Each structure stands twice: as structure tokens, then as C-alpha cells.
Amino acid sequence: MATVLVKERAPKSPARALARTITAPRARSRKLPVPQVAREDLPLSTIIPGDCVEAMRQLPSASVDMVFADPPYNLQLGGDLSRPDGSHVDAVTDDWDKFDSFATYDKFTREWLTEARRVLKPNGSIWVIGSYHNIFRVGAIMQDLGFWILNDIVWRKANPMPNFKGTRFTNAHETLIWASMGEKSRYTFNYRTMKTLNDELQMRSDWVLPICSGGERLKKGGSKVHPTQKPESLLYRVMLATTNKGDVVLDPFFGTGTTGAVAKRLGREWIGCERETGYREAALERIELALPLDEAALTTMQSPKAAPKVAFGTLVETGWIKPGAKLSAKKGTLNALVRADGSLSSGELVGSIHSVGAKLQGAPSCNGWTFWNIEHEGQMKPIDAIRQLYLLSTEP
Ligand SMILES: C[S@@+](CC[C@H](N)C(=O)[O-])C[C@H]1O[C@@H](n2cnc3c(N)ncnc32)[C@H](O)[C@@H]1O
């Protein structure tokens, strides 16, 4: 495997960066005009090594559009965990997750959230993911610091780890807090894109997505590179919903770089902070391999209708059907391109799998699931077959 060096840039003082601010172009849509930091002052596509609080202090104020943070959980695990067959369970026992007390954890949380708030633009937003161990403490501190909570998203794991001891309910979800800088700030929310991604039903705050496994899981010598690598589908939805193309996303707890890999695919800029050298190297190698989507696939829907058990968009964000893939119907005489939000484009037509199928046939309606075919393992199959494969793979 090619050696990838961790890219480091000399710290720049926030004052110098701010001295180079330019006035934003005329306010577009409902956004307020805000001073913008010149891009050259940001260490884009860089993982800043060391402690994230110190790392964020190197960044200019009001310079990033979104923060995605997956901080230590403070799991406080006592002893090893085993399955009923005696095999060892990979749990988070690393030093980066250890804190002496709740007070120490709270102090650290306040410090990094304060820096995240400083570097966020006034109309930016923040996502923090956590479990019952930490998310309530994090949420309270966010409110204390002035963040305005917009949603708490429940990521329901399609295939969670069982509770081996049988002493509690299976812990089958994590919570993501999504917050703006304040009650009045004009944060980005791509409502229409989310509705399209969800087969034209309003996207809800409970998301069923599989945990990171299979080929996506980074491994070295057969072992997981990182105990808490997040699935790309989760970041895909977060970024598609709350950022625009070219926006800058900062992840202070970069780990194996899930945020960077998805940002690159979706045409967003990224900056990471990570204290462990091994994770930084793994992340850079991974991001190097991530392929950005082309312009046509990246354009997302501005309008949409209908809803089965699995949304077509779920197949796209989980990678079962790739953005940019070609769908065909009527023995190849009708074709369409899959876009990043799960919409289709065919010539001038854009819409869902159902609406594009209907318009192409001049029909009042169409069941896109059985109408469209895709090449899978050398054979043309209805996209419904891929949906069935997805359902099978996520069965508990
Ligand atoms: C929960 S993991 C993030 C995993 C990541 N989302 C992924 O998909 O790979 C938290 C990461 O934060 C890093 N970390 C913990 N404390 C840190 C600190 N003070 N500064 C920078 N990185 C830190 C850990 O090394 C760990 O990789």
C-alpha cells in the first residue's frame, strides 16, 4: 500500500486570517451576508495532528460551514466483554476514551465545543453524535454555550450488536444532535433533497441505517483499524441535508476519516483533527481512494411523491446503487442516471424513480421499482431485486 504522509501546515493566526476577510457577494436567497474568510487561510484537505482544542485554535473564526463531531463516548467500561461462545468483543477501551470523572469529561466537552462554536460561521450548523453515555451531557453543554438544537436524530442500527449478558435492552441506536448557532440563524437545510432521498416522503428524525461493516470497514492484519468507525451512509445523509457543494466541513475527532471520504465524494471541502498517528494515516489513505462524484450526479432534486418500506435513496446512500449508475427500461430504449440524492435524470427530465418512469412513458404513474433495471454482477436486474438484497443484508 502506498505511503501517505500526514499533511501538516504551519499554524496561522486567526487575526491574520481575519485581516484578509472579504465581503460576501450579494446575499443569495434567505441567507444574511456574512464576512467570509479567504479559502487560502484554511488548511483544506488536511488532518491537523494533536489535541483538537489546540488544533481548532489555529483556525480563523467564522470560517467553516458545518462541524461534524464524533467525540469520545466516555464509556467507562469495566473489564473485558465476551460473547456466549467465549470470543472477545471489540469494545472501546482506548486511552482516548478515558476520563477521570464526569467533571473532567464536561470540562473537555465545553472546551472543544467552545472552539467549534468560534470557528463556525453564524449561519453554520453542528452535528454531534453520541450514545447514552455522553449525549445528554453534551446536549446540555451545547445549550449552555448558546447552540440552538434543531433536531435529535435517532440513528437506529439495522444490525446492532446484541446485549451478550442479557442484562439490559439491546442498545440499538445512537443519537445525533443537530444545532444551529442560535435561534435566529439561517442554517442550511435541503428539505427537498431529503424528501427525494426518502422516496418523496418528508424525512423523519429516526434513520434506519446499517452499522459500518463489510468492505467499508477498515482492517489491518484482520483486525479493525478503529473501534468506532462510522458508516459512510450516515455522513452522506448529514452532509446532503445540511451543506451545499463547496461548503467546508470540520471534524474535530476525525478517526479513520469517514467525514473526509464522504465530503470528497459529495464535492464538499474538509478539515480534520486527530491525535492518533495511526488513524491519521489510515484516514488519508482512505480519502485518497475516495472518488468524487461527477457534476451531473451531484446535482440534487428541487422537487418530488410515494413510499415503500425501503426508500430508493437508502440504496444510494448505503452504496448498493452508486450515484452515477445507469438505469434502463424497455429493453434499453429508455435510460436514466442516478443522482446523489436518489433522484434520476433522463434528458431534460428529473425526478424520482417513479415520476421519471411515468413521464418517459407518458403514463399517469409508474412503479419505478419494477420498471427500472440495473446491471448487477453481469446481469440486468430490476432495482427491486437490489432492494431485496439490501433488506436481506440488514436483517438482524
Ligand atoms: C469516536 S472516534 C471517531 C471515529 C470517526 N468518526 C470514524 O468514523 O472513524 C473519536 C476519535 O477522536 C480522537 N480523539 C479523542 N480525543 C481527541 C482529542 N482531544 N483531540 C483530537 N482527537 C481526539 C480519537 O483518537 C478517535 O479517533
pLDDT above 90: residue 318 = yes
Q: Is the CB of 231 under 6 A from ligand 1?
A: no
- Residue with the bigger pLDDT between 56 and 23: it is 56
What is the enclosing helix (H) or strand (E) of 123?
A: strand 120-130
What is the pLDDT averaged over residues 29-50?
80
- Residue with the bigger pLDDT between 172 and 301: it is 172
pLDDT digits (tens, 9 = 90+) for 207-263: 999 999 989 999 999 999 999 999 999 999 999 999 999 999 999 999 999 999 999
Nearest CA to ligand 1 atom 4: 255
Q: Average pLDDT of the chain?
A: 87
- At residue 302, the pLDDT reads 45
User: What SS3 state is found at 199?
Assistant: coil
C-alpha cell at 353: 424513480
Q: How many residues are listed for the chain in this entry?
A: 396
Q: Ligand 1 center to residue 226 CA distance, Å?
A: 9
Q: Ligand 1 center to residue 21 CA distance, Å?
A: 31
| Confidence label for 94 from pLDDT (cuts 50, 70 and 90) | confident
Q: Ligand 1 center to residue 71 CA distance, Å?
A: 6
Contact 178, 126 (CB under 8 A): yes
Pocket residue to mutate for ligand 1, from 70, 216, 253, most atoms within 8 A of Cβ = 253
Residues in Cβ contact with 121 at an 8 Å cutoff, skipping those fewer than 6 apart: 34, 62, 63, 64, 65, 181
Q: Ligand 1 center to residue 321 CA distance, Å?
A: 30
Q: Is the CB of 130 under 6 A from ligand 1?
A: no
Nearest CA to ligand 1 atom 7: 229
Alpha-carbon span 163 to 383, nearest angstrom:
35
Alpha-carbon span 387 to 375, nearest angstrom:
14
pLDDT above 80: residue 27 = no
Q: Ligand 1 center to residue 252 CA distance, Å?
A: 7
Alpha-carbon span 38 to 41, nearest angstrom:
6
Q: Ligand 1 center to residue 327 CA distance, Å?
A: 39
Beta strand 64-69 with 248-251 is: parallel
Q: Ligand 1 center to residue 249 CA distance, Å?
A: 16
What is the pLDDT averaged over residues 333-338?
96
C-alpha cell at 322: 452508486
Q: Is the CB of 72 under 6 A from ligand 1?
A: yes
Alpha-carbon span 370 to 388, nearest angstrom:
12
| Confidence label for 307 from pLDDT (cuts 50, 70 and 90) | very low
pLDDT above 60: residue 16 = no
- At residue 395, the pLDDT reads 63
Nearest CA to ligand 1 atom 15: 96
pLDDT digits (tens, 9 = 90+) for 61-71: 999 999 999 99
What is the pLDDT averaged over residues 146-150?
98
Q: Is the CB of 273 under 6 A from ligand 1?
A: yes
Nearest CA to ligand 1 atom 3: 255
- At residue 13, the pLDDT reads 41
- Residue with the bigger pLDDT between 370 and 92: it is 370
- Residue with the bigger pLDDT between 67 and 83: it is 67
- At residue 88, the pLDDT reads 64
| Confidence label for 90 from pLDDT (cuts 50, 70 and 90) | low
Q: Which of 81-90, 96-105, 181-190 has the highest mean pLDDT?
A: 181-190
Lowest-pLDDT range of 78-87, 106-115, 154-163, 318-327:
78-87
Q: State which amino acid sits at residue 75.
A: L
Q: Ligand 1 center to residue 292 CA distance, Å?
A: 24
- Residue with the bigger pLDDT between 5 and 179: it is 179
- At residue 389, the pLDDT reads 86
Nearest CA to ligand 1 atom 2: 255
Alpha-carbon span 3 to 42, nearest angstrom:
25
- At residue 309, the pLDDT reads 72
Q: Is the CB of 224 under 6 A from ligand 1?
A: no
Q: Ligand 1 center to residue 116 CA distance, Å?
A: 15
Alpha-carbon span 329 to 373, nearest angstrom:
6
Alpha-carbon span 105 to 116, nearest angstrom:
16
Q: Residue 393 phi/psi, 5° resolution?
A: -70, -20
- At residue 241, the pLDDT reads 97
pLDDT digits (tens, 9 = 90+) for 254-287: 999 999 999 999 999 999 999 999 999 999 999 9
pLDDT above 50: residue 138 = yes
- Residue with the bigger pLDDT between 303 and 205: it is 205
